[in-house]
Amino acid sequence: MEYLKTSKVSFRMVDLCRLTERYLSEEEVKKVYEAFLYAAVAHEGVTRKSGEPYISHPLEVAHTLADLHLDVDTLCAALLHDVIEDTDYTHNDIANEFGDTVADLVEGVTKLSYENFSNKYDAGMASFQKMMTAMVDDYRVVIIKLADRLHNVKTLSSMRPVKQRRIAQETLEIHVPLARRMGMNTLRHSLQMFAFQSLHPWRSSILSRWWQKCLDEQQDNHEKIMSKIQTSLNKELDKNSTVFHWEKNLYRLYEDRKQHKNPIHFSRDAISYDIRILTQSSQQCYLALGVIHNLFLPKIGSFKDFISVPKVYGFQALQTTVITKNQNLICIQIQSREMFQVAQYGIAAQWRFPQLDYKNKFNLAQSRLSAWLEQVKEIQQYTGDPEAFLADMKADFFLREVSVLTPKGEAKALRIGATPVDFAYAIHTDIGHHCTGAYIDGRRKPLNTQLHDGATVKIITNPNAIPHPSWQNFVVTGKARSAIRSWLTSYENSEYIEIGERLFKNTLNNVEKKLEDIAPEIIDTLLETLEITNIQQLFIEIAKGNQCSKLITHRLLETDNIESTNRTEQAFYIRGAKGLAVQLSTCCHPIPDDTITAAIIDNRGLAVHRNDCSILRHIHHKKQLTAAWDTSETLSYLVPLALRAQHQQGVLFEITQQFQQADIDIEDINIFGDKGSKRIEVLIRVTHTKELKKLVAKLNKLAHVSDATRIPQLSSPQVIT
């Protein structure tokens, strides 16, 4: 390692030691230095794309974390974070030298090998899930990963352009939201700007120069505004406040306005100048707000109180936009000094500023992070697939949020577009599973209603209710999505198991056998041959049509006489339309008292048809099962009707009045015809054919109606041109 004696690496290591000496003990600084030497040996002879020694990268990562005053184990892990991934050293090697904590942190950051996956994308998703799993146990894993990504995105210029764009886009989609969730806004902003510069180098450069020109042109005016604010605050707050210019987030500016084609959206007058005000306490924040609103005209709808209702990651501030006499927009954010420090460094503020008394301020950030980690843990439990896990996590990486209240006044921050179902799952998974309705601000609303900021939401539950598959079409939060998907999969599998077991037992019954008659070892041998894990999985495969119950019986009993018995095949009982693995076919709309047949549809379960349905002719007889209705429960079923009516005023009212008197709901209605007569088709809900026949008889007695009859399905609506 002769190069360390002369290269700038040695100077950076000296800087790191001097930085750590400010807050670590002599023994801890020595441990950091030993970790550096260990990493230098492990990466000896390896260089980065830029030509620098590879050790320069983990050294810069450790330096970023030392600026935050992270503890000794985190710094050691930062120096060693690529050792397991890129060298022959193992977890045990690091644990023996630096302890289990350091080794576990390094393991948590280590990406999975591409060799075990079909492509890099799959490996990346699995590595992300692995990192998030480690984060649940120790969130310092993510802090190391963010510092690692920061240095990588700073040094993208040595990469090929296509790789630069891929890494920059990934940074904006995953690492920037992660930093925000950790409350580390300084790190988030750096990641955002470096990624923006790599993804759109020309646009970011032009935008930066344009905005700097705007600031230069208005410098005198802005200084007068800040001086005016500072003077007024000094009178009210006894010189306990600080006023300063805040650097505008140009990436956010670009994202907010890139959809607008009108040049005015990038005019100087349409973009605000940003000012920060720091006070001694939250009470002084509100006093400062009063001073600002006395000085300038507040822009209507711009005020946000994130002190009373903090953002989802614990951010607190008062925000307002005011208009000066010169029609300049000034965006002002007011915080106590403690709020400001926590907002910039998030969960790392406890190390960066140990001398400050955070109390509720830091505890809020810690509690919000802990709540999110529990949510991540739940999503992991519900989601085994890395791709689905990444999608669910991205659903929680939102930049815009709404704050809604429980009836008791407790605030819940959700992503914009959230619905009462998202809100129910945010309270508790069981409340989500059993919700049946919601009141928003005291008014009953559908479950797919998007919640607005400040809404009070009351969830109605029923212990017998279950999640509906359609919920997946409108929920937006990761927890709701993963919980619903997991429940539906589990429920669907239980139905498949029940269907498959009944099909298999029916086949055994035809040869006068029972499942209990077959020796367990014979079943185990068959499962091993079929590469099926257990008997429940076999039932699922039978129900999905991937395995044939008759062939399975043949293999188990070693007989060819599966269908030779004279025993009558037992009917498969249909319990209604509430299941997920049994569908009532829309081509014929069967209802109780119809003679029916169930058909096995590959990977979809059972489709129930009326015996006279034309579709059955196209389904192989071996896929068809004798079926009958289980009428132990009273359920409603969809059925279509058609009737011919004369074109008379009030005839439609007469028809719908018959449905109302019979207490029958109309789900859909189509009207066809000309001036003389019209064909009316309706989709209604009934519980039995008797109810249907009674309704049809009443419709046929109407003076202007003829030929009311049941039809297999509704016709396609006519297109009016």
**In angstroms, rounded to a whole number, what is the distance separating the alpha carbons of residues 290 and 494?**
61
User: So what's the pLDDT on residue 560?
Assistant: 47
Q: Determine the structural domain holding residue 510 and report its residue range.
A: 486-624
Residue 306 included in any domain: yes
Global pTM value: 0.69
**378 and 425 together in one domain:** yes
Beta bridge partners of 646: 677
Please indicate whether residue 269 or residue 283 has the higher confidence score (pLDDT). Answer: 283
Using the 3D structure, point to which of 439, 467, 495 is the last residue of a domain: 467
**In angstroms, rounded to a whole number, what is the distance separating the alpha carbons of residues 670 and 719?**
11
Query: To the nearest whole percent, how much of the chain has pLDDT over 90?
Result: 26
Strands, E, within 121-191: which ranges? none
**78 and 29 together in one domain:** yes
Catalytically annotated residue among 34, 85, 173, 541 = 85
User: For 495-515, how does the pLDDT look when each residue is reduced to its tens digit (9 = 90+)?
Assistant: 778 778 887 887 788 777 888
> 718 pLDDT band (50/70/90 cuts)?
very low
Number of domains in the chain: 5
Residue 179 included in any domain: yes
How much is the average pLDDT of 438-448? 90
**186 and 37 together in one domain:** yes
Q: What are phi and psi of 335, to 5 degrees?
A: -140, 155
- Of 292-296, 406-410, 646-650, 693-697, the poorest mean pLDDT is in 646-650
Active site residue 138: no
**511 and 437 together in one domain:** no
User: For 467-497, how does the pLDDT look when each residue is reduced to its tens digit (9 = 90+)?
Assistant: 887 888 889 888 888 888 888 778 777 877 8
User: For 98-146, how does the pLDDT look when each residue is reduced to its tens digit (9 = 90+)?
Assistant: 999 999 999 988 887 666 666 777 777 788 878 888 888 888 999 999 9
User: So what's the pLDDT on residue 581?
Assistant: 63
User: For 304-351, how does the pLDDT look when each residue is reduced to its tens digit (9 = 90+)?
Assistant: 998 988 887 888 999 999 998 888 899 999 999 988 988 898 888 878
Report whether 184 contacts 348 (CB < 8 A): yes
Report whether 429 contacts 437 (CB < 8 A): no
Query: What is the DSSP annotation of 173-204?
Result: IIIHHHHHHTT-HHHHHHHHHHHHHHHSHHHH
In angstroms, the Cα distances linking 58 to 227, 275, 359, 371 are 44, 36, 34, 31
CATH of the domain at 158: 1.10.3210.10
**177 and 38 together in one domain:** yes
Is residue 216 scored above 50 in pLDDT?
yes
**501 and 582 together in one domain:** yes
Please indicate whether residue 3 or residue 644 has the higher confidence score (pLDDT). Answer: 644
User: So what's the pLDDT on residue 95?
Assistant: 93
How much is the average pLDDT of 350-368? 66
Is residue 633 scored above 80 in pLDDT?
no
User: For 244-254, how does the pLDDT look when each residue is reduced to its tens digit (9 = 90+)?
Assistant: 999 988 888 88
Is residue 22 scored above 60 in pLDDT?
yes
- Joined tokens for residue 361: 């301020």
- Of 7-11, 594-598, 656-660, the poorest mean pLDDT is in 7-11
Mean pLDDT for the chain overall:
83
Catalytically annotated residue among 28, 34, 44, 86 = 86
User: So what's the pLDDT on residue 565?
Assistant: 44
CATH of the domain at 435: 3.10.20.30
Strands, E, within 426-552: which ranges? 435-440, 443-445, 457-461
What counts of helices (H) and strands (E) characterise the chain?
A: 29, 20
**In angstroms, rounded to a whole number, what is the distance separating the alpha carbons of residues 694 and 509?**
40
- 560 burial type by CB count under 10 A (0-12 exposed, 13-18 middle, 19+ buried): exposed
Report whether 597 contacts 625 (CB < 8 A): yes
> 523 pLDDT band (50/70/90 cuts)?
confident
Residue 543 included in any domain: yes
Using the 3D structure, point to which of 596, 624, 652 is the last residue of a domain: 624
**645 and 671 together in one domain:** yes
Residue 294 included in any domain: yes
**94 and 54 together in one domain:** yes
Is residue 398 scored above 60 in pLDDT?
yes
CATH of the domain at 299: 3.30.460.10
Active site residue 569: no
- Pairing between strand 596-601 and 605-610? antiparallel
Please indicate whether residue 656 or residue 1 has the higher confidence score (pLDDT). Answer: 656
Residue 472 included in any domain: no
- 71 burial type by CB count under 10 A (0-12 exposed, 13-18 middle, 19+ buried): middle
How much is the average pLDDT of 210-230? 90
**427 and 371 together in one domain:** yes
**152 and 217 together in one domain:** no
User: So what's the pLDDT on residue 424?
Assistant: 93
**In angstroms, rounded to a whole number, what is the distance separating the alpha carbons of residues 634 and 156?**
65
Is residue 721 scored above 50 in pLDDT?
no
Residue 150 included in any domain: yes
> 171 pLDDT band (50/70/90 cuts)?
very high
User: For 531-578, how does the pLDDT look when each residue is reduced to its tens digit (9 = 90+)?
Assistant: 888 888 888 887 776 777 777 777 777 654 445 444 445 566 776 555
Residue 121 included in any domain: yes
User: So what's the pLDDT on residue 668?
Assistant: 83
Query: To the nearest whole percent, how much of the chain has pLDDT over 70?
Result: 89
Report whether 131 contacts 170 (CB < 8 A): no
Report whether 296 contacts 321 (CB < 8 A): no
CATH of the domain at 695: 3.30.70.260
**In angstroms, rounded to a whole number, what is the distance separating the alpha carbons of residues 247 and 273?**
9
**597 and 647 together in one domain:** no
Question: Which range, 20-24, 522-526, 627-631, 645-649, has the best average confidence (pLDDT)?
Answer: 20-24
**31 and 152 together in one domain:** yes
Is residue 77 scored above 90 in pLDDT?
yes
Using the 3D structure, point to which of 467, 498, 523 is the last residue of a domain: 467
Residue 282 included in any domain: yes
- 187 burial type by CB count under 10 A (0-12 exposed, 13-18 middle, 19+ buried): buried
